[in-house]
Amino acid sequence: MAEEAILGYLENHEEISDSGEFAAERGIDHAEIDIRTETRVLTDEGKKYAAVGSPEVQLFLALPTEGSISKEELQKKLDPGVFKIGCSQAGKNKWVEMGKQISRKVQHVEDRVKDLLLRIQDGKAVDKDDVNNLKARKLIVLQTWKGYSVRKGPNYAPKRKKPETDLTRENLQSFEEMPTNRYVESRYGYEWKRDEANKNLLRTHTTAISSRMLYALAQHAKEQPLTPKRYFSIDRVFRNEAVDRTHLAEFHQIEGLVCDRGFTLSHLIGILEDFFSRLGMSKLRFKPAYNPYTEPSMEIFSYHKGFGKWVEIGNSGMFRPEMLRPMGFPEDVSVVAWGLSLERPTMILYGIDNIRNLFGHTVDLSLMKKNPLCLIGIR
């Protein structure tokens, strides 16, 4: 609501000079708009003295105009707090003679504290020394107010043009989600050494699930004509990594694959360029790489403005025939696949220069409070 109101107003005006006033006129919570200004506000004690006078003046007025009064009698006339503060401040101002008997040293005084408090209450200027004195006496506090002065930028538009960074049903149309709810893998899919294959391991990728899905598809194709398939998954994986600004020991892997006849490397590059452009990343580079289960293989890089360099964001390739043929796929069937972390593209999109500020115990929780959830399959 706030965004629509701001963009709509700026369509016919050059500037919003006061976001507080703008929000109030439109019934918008100003926290949704959020220029910092500091204002002086009276404390409850300050408000009381602005109404009835400062303790020192109250004490002075309670003294007889001639002669003196005992401390005990004066205490009965005043609130204990007013008596204590009044004695201290009136003595400091040399208005009274203190002792067992208390008397006036002057006949007339001005309640400057009350006058200053009333000026602040009315929003009038007060000297810095007076402000500091009132703060020290805890009669006023500084209140920070945040607001914005908003002007049109060079790329202004009445409505935000948002890259497809959120998962939508349209994004996932014709893609089938893979079941990635097994965090511990007992084998990859074929045995190298039985002793090693029988060991459990926190998964380092979700490609083992891709292999199971492809195997099931190949078995189905033996009885029915092959149906081209698109699979995806997003889930957590674990690596033996030294944690630094671009690496975590655990992160979220996005994996996608397409199985069809006649696919080539150029098809894979086209899919990747389309996929990342929808996330707002058009600067891509591809570097030949080695993967044990794909050939050819490519690492995917995107330019990170914060780092000022190209950052690896994913890996890709075409599944080897040695992997597909034993499953039962015919020779003209190809599978192109790609995998990337969820965290690194997010860093590039939002200018985050330390991955630990995005995922982990140092993350700023306000990120989760300010950004909407993806509710696919929930609503």
Structure tokens at 36: 């910092």
Distance CA 148, CA 81 (A): 42
CB atoms within 10 A of CB 213: 18
Domain range 176-370, CATH architecture: 2-Layer Sandwich (3.30)
pLDDT tens-digit series, residues 232-287? 888 888 877 777 877 777 888 888 899 998 888 899 999 888 888 877 777 889 99
pLDDT value of position 163: 53
Nearest to 6 by CA among 166, 165, 163, 153: 153
pLDDT value of position 237: 84
pTM (2 d.p.): 0.46
Domain ranges of the chain: 2-36+146-151, 176-370
Structure confidence at residue 178 as a pLDDT band (50, 70, 90): low
Mean pLDDT of the 212-219 span: 88
pLDDT tens-digit series, residues 291-330? 888 889 999 998 877 778 888 888 999 999 998 898 988 8
Question: Which of 13-17, 123-127, 148-152, 373-377 is the least confident region?
Answer: 373-377
Reply yes or no on whether the pLDDT at 349 is more than 80.
no
Helix H or strand E encompassing 316: strand 309-319
